C-alpha cells in the first residue's frame, strides 16, 4: 500500500508509491555506453590551451605540479552582470530589479575525460576550497543577497559541455523558495527550540536505515520523504548556517565524502545525470540558530510529469530505505 510522507525541510508531501516501486537497480542509466572521450579535446573551451576560446580572465586558479588544476572564470554568457548597478523599480504590478550579480564557471579539472567521482581526493578538495574562496569573496559585494553553488552533470541535468565543471551564481534577490524554507525553519525553531536540520540529522543517525555514508564531519542520507529516487542530502555534523564558515578539516572531509558518494552513484547507477547544489544562508544572515547549510544531490533518473506540476506533490517510485541500502552496498575501487 502506498503512503504519503512529509519532508520537514521542504514541507512537500511525497507519495511513496510502493505499488509501483522499482528495485534500485532498475534505475541504472539506460544506454550508458558512450564513446571513450580523449583527455584533451581541441574544440573544448575548458581544455588546457583553449582558455582564450572561453575566457582568458580568471578570478581564481589552483595550480598542481606547475599547471592549473582548477580555474574559475566569468561565464562567457552570464545570467547576471558583474558591472550592473542594483536598482529596484515598482510600476503598478510591474516590479523588477536590474540584472546585477556574478556568474562564474568552475573548471574542475584539466582532463576532458573525467568527472568528480573519478578524481583523487586532493583534487576534489581543491574544488571545495575554490568554492569557499569565491563564496566569501562574493559576500563582500553589497549587491549580492544569495550565493548558489551548483553542478549540472549530464544532458538531463542541463549541461551542454561534457568537460567537468560547476557554477557559482550570486543574485541580487533571495528566491521565494529560499525565503519559504527559512520561514518554515524559523517557525520550527520557535515552536520546538531546536534546529529542524539538526533534528533530522539526529533522527536519521538513530534510525540508520537511510544512511549512505558517515564520516567525522558529514552524513549522507536519503531523506525519509525523498522527493525522487536516490535524492540525497549531505549534512555537516557541526551546526553552521553558511557554507562560507566551513573549516579546513571539514573541507578535507567533505571532499572525501562527496567523492565516495558520487562514485557510488557512478558505479551503482552507471554514471547517471545529476544536479548538486549547496544550500546556504542568504548573505545578510550569519550564525543563524535555525538554519543549517547542506549539499543536495538529485539524480535525474525520473521525470516530473503532469501530476507533480498540477498538485505540487511528488511521486517517488522507489523506497528511500532501499535506495540507501543499495548505495551502501555498491562495491568501489577507492
Write phi, then psi, for 273 (nearest 5 degrees).
Answer: -65, 145
Measured distance CA(138)–CA(32) in Å, rounded = 38
Shortest CA distance to 161 belongs to which of 53, 318, 235? 53
Measured distance CA(104)–CA(26) in Å, rounded = 36
Q: What is the dihedral of CA 230, 161, 102, 85, to 10 degrees?
A: -130
Q: Choosing from 112, 153, 165, 231, which is the catalytic residue?
A: 165
> Which grid cell sits at 45?
573551451
Measured distance CA(177)–CA(83) in Å, rounded = 27
Helix (H) or strand (E) holding 2: none
What's the distance, Cα to Cα, between the start and end of the chain in Å?
A: 39
Residue located via cell numbers 586532493? 122
Shortest CA distance to 288 belongs to which of 149, 148, 180, 185? 185
Residue 45's CB is within 10 A of a number of other CB atoms, namely: 17
- Of the CA atoms within 13 Å of residue 105, those in its CB half-sphere come to 22
Shortest CA distance to 128 belongs to which of 222, 62, 78? 62
DSSP annotation of 36: P
Residue located via cell numbers 581526493? 121
Residue 165: active-site member: yes
Measured distance CA(13)–CA(7) in Å, rounded = 6
CB-based contacts of 12, cutoff 8 Å, min separation 6: 6, 225, 227, 312, 313, 314
> Which grid cell sits at 140?
563582500
Show which residues are catalytic.
165
Amino acid at each position: 500500500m502506498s503512503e504519503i510522507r512529509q519532508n520537514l525541510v521542504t514541507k512537500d508531501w511525497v507519495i511513496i508509491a510502493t505499488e509501483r516501486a522499482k528495485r534500485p537497480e532498475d534505475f541504472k542509466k539506460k544506454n550508458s555506453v558512450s564513446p571513450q572521450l580523449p583527455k584533451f579535446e581541441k574544440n573544448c573551451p575548458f581544455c588546457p590551451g583553449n582558455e582564450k576560446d572561453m575566457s582568458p580572465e580568471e578570478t581564481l586558479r589552483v595550480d598542481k605540479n606547475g599547471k592549473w588544476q582548477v580555474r574559475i572564470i566569468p561565464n562567457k554568457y552570464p545570467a547576471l552582470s558583474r558591472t550592473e548597478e542594483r536598482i529596484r523599480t515598482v510600476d503598478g504590478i510591474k516590479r523588477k530589479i536590474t540584472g546585477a550579480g556574478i556568474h562564474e564557471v568552475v573548471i574542475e579539472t584539466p582532463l576532458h575525460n573525467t568527472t568528480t567521482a573519478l578524481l583523487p581526493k586532493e583534487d576534489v578538495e581543491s574544488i571545495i576550497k575554490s568554492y569557499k574562496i569565491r563564496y566569501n569573496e562574493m559576500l563582500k559585494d553589497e549587491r549580492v543577497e544569495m550565493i548558489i553553488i551548483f553542478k549540472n552533470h549530464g544532458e538531463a541535468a542541463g549541461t551542454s559541455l561534457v568537460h567537468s565543471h560547476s557554477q557559482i551564481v550570486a543574485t541580487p534577490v533571495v528566491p521565494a523558495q529560499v525565503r519559504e524554507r527559512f520561514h518554515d525553519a524559523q517557525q520550527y525553531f520557535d515552536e520546538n527550540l531546536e534546529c529542524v536540520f539538526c533534528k533530522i540529522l539526529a533522527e536519521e543517525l538513530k534510525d540508520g536505515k537511510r544512511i549512505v555514508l558517515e564520516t567525522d564531519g558529514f552524513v549522507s542520507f536519503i531523506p525519509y520523504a525523498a522527493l525522487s529516487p536516490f535524492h540525497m542530502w549531505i549534512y555537516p555534523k557541526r551546526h553552521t548556517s553558511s557554507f562560507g564558515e566551513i573549516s579546513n578539516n571539514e573541507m578535507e572531509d567533505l571532499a572525501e565524502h562527496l567523492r565516495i558518494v558520487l562514485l557510488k552513484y557512478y558505479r551503482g547507477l552507471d554514471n547517471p545525470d545529476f544536479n548538486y547544489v549547496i544550500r546556504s544562508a542568504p548573505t545578510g544572515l550569519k550564525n543563524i540558530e535555525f538554519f543549517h547549510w547542506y549539499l543536495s544531490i538529485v539524480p535525474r533518473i525520473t521525470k516530473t510529469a503532469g501530476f507533480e506540476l498540477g498538485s505540487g506533490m511528488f511521486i517517488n517510485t522507489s523506497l528511500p530505505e532501499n535506495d540507501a541500502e543499495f548505495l551502501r552496498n555498491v562495491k568501489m575501487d577507492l
